Chains A and B, each alone.
Chain A
Amino acid sequence: MNFAVLQFPASNCDQDAVHAVRLLGHSARLVWHKDASLGDADAVIVPGGFSYGDYLRCGAIARFSPVMQAVKQFADRGGLVLGVCNGFQVLTEAGLLPGALIRNRDLQFHCEFIHLKTLTANSPFTGRIPAGKCLRVPIAHGEGCYFADETTLAQLKANDQILWQYCDLGGNVTDSANPNGAVQNIAGICNERRNVAGLMPHPERACESLLGSDDGRWIFESMFAALKEKPVPA
């Protein structure tokens, strides 16, 4: 599988994403934000970082980069898109995912390991995550508090679009396990069509036990498996 990893000015987790995909046995290459084409990509990763210095709002400027036109078309055709951290912010700003990410409720930048409860196996991003397994993944963000209004939240729940919630070691979704105040401990969601997902934690930084956890690979393995079963429409 070929993964296209976008690069905006001040993206800084693009190299890690490329490394993770290659480590797991697949191809990945960087795509500069000014490129209007994704080439022969099977999936797109919108990586973490501080694109455009987080100026105006996180991801607010990156969403207008030329490459995002191609990403939108790719997503419209059913292509898989995964936004990580700043990538999640870009996708919400671009309207490819509902809701928004705002400043952490305690106003602190959180750089730590958290645990994720996977709410559904029914998605290309969670299909291979072992049932009941809490994923130990690092976060590193100052504006990762997920917000959506009541109507949107109701829709997310009804459509099974909440993919991950912050939980404690025992898998309990508690307030103390919530690092940033995200509504309902939401760490990651997908769109209605289930081909675009975003999450604040960094699975690409949790693919080697040397780095503290290799639980992140389950998310990529889910994508590889989904791509194998159903190739991207041309």
Chain B
Amino acid sequence: MKAKIIITPKKAVLDPQGKTVQNALAQMGYTGVTGVHIGKYIEIDLAPGTDKAAAQQALHDAAHKFLSNPVIEDYKLEME
């Protein structure tokens, strides 16, 4: 079983990395790009037989408390 967490900067937060990559894409000739936001992807491997619902609950807790900083980031959790 796997959990996939995508962490992205909140819209209100300055994302200079995203802006830099956006500029680079434009310079490289890619058109039509109106925004780039750079985040994090975390994959968590869970032991076989783990209770899916309980794990999801626990991971939401971990994502909120530790894996993401709610002041500056949003997260999306997917269980596989």
Looking at the complex, which one of A56, A107, A149 makes contact with B20 (CB distance below 8 Å)?
A: A107
What 1/0 flags go to B15-41 for Cβ under 8 Å of A? 011001000000000000000000000
Looking at the complex, which one of B13, B20, B66, B67 makes contact with A102 (CB distance below 8 Å)?
A: B13
Given A103-B17, A107-B17, A107-B20, the answer on whether A93 and B12 have CB atoms closer than 8 Å is no
B55 CB–A CB distance under 8 Å:
no
Contact A147 B17, beta carbon cutoff 8 Å: no
Instruction: Give every chain A residue within 8 A of B69 (Cβ-Cβ).
Output: 57, 60, 93, 100
Contact A147 B16, beta carbon cutoff 8 Å: no
- Least CB distance from A83 to B in Å reads 16
Contact B71 A99, beta carbon cutoff 8 Å: yes
Looking at the complex, which one of A56, A100, A105, A181 makes contact with B72 (CB distance below 8 Å)?
A: A100
Complex Cα–Cα for A104 and B16 (A):
8
Main secondary structure of the interface of A (DSSP, over half): loop
Contact B14 A145, beta carbon cutoff 8 Å: yes
- Least CB distance from B59 to A in Å reads 15
Complex Cα–Cα for A145 and B66 (A):
20
Within 8 A of A (CB), among B34-80: 66-67, 69, 71-72
Complex Cα–Cα for A176 and B22 (A):
24
A229 CB–B CB distance under 8 Å:
no
The chain A residue with its CB closest to the CB of B67 is: A56
- Least CB distance from B79 to A in Å reads 21
Given A100-B72, A147-B72, the answer on whether A105 and B67 have CB atoms closer than 8 Å is no
Instruction: Give every chain A residue within 8 A of B67 (Cβ-Cβ).
Output: 56
Complex Cα–Cα for A25 and B16 (A):
43
Looking at the complex, which one of B9, B14, B17, B20 makes contact with A181 (CB distance below 8 Å)?
A: B14
Complex Cα–Cα for A103 and B19 (A):
13
Pick the 9 closest A-B CB pairs, nearest first.
A100-B71, A100-B72, A105-B16, A107-B16, A57-B69, A100-B69, A105-B14, A147-B13, A102-B72
Q: Provide 21 A-B residue pairs closer than 8 Å at the C-beta atoms, listed in order of the A residue.
A: A57-B69, A60-B66, A60-B69, A64-B66, A93-B69, A99-B71, A100-B69, A100-B71, A100-B72, A102-B9, A102-B72, A103-B16, A103-B17, A105-B16, A106-B16, A107-B20, A145-B14, A147-B13, A147-B14, A147-B72, A148-B71
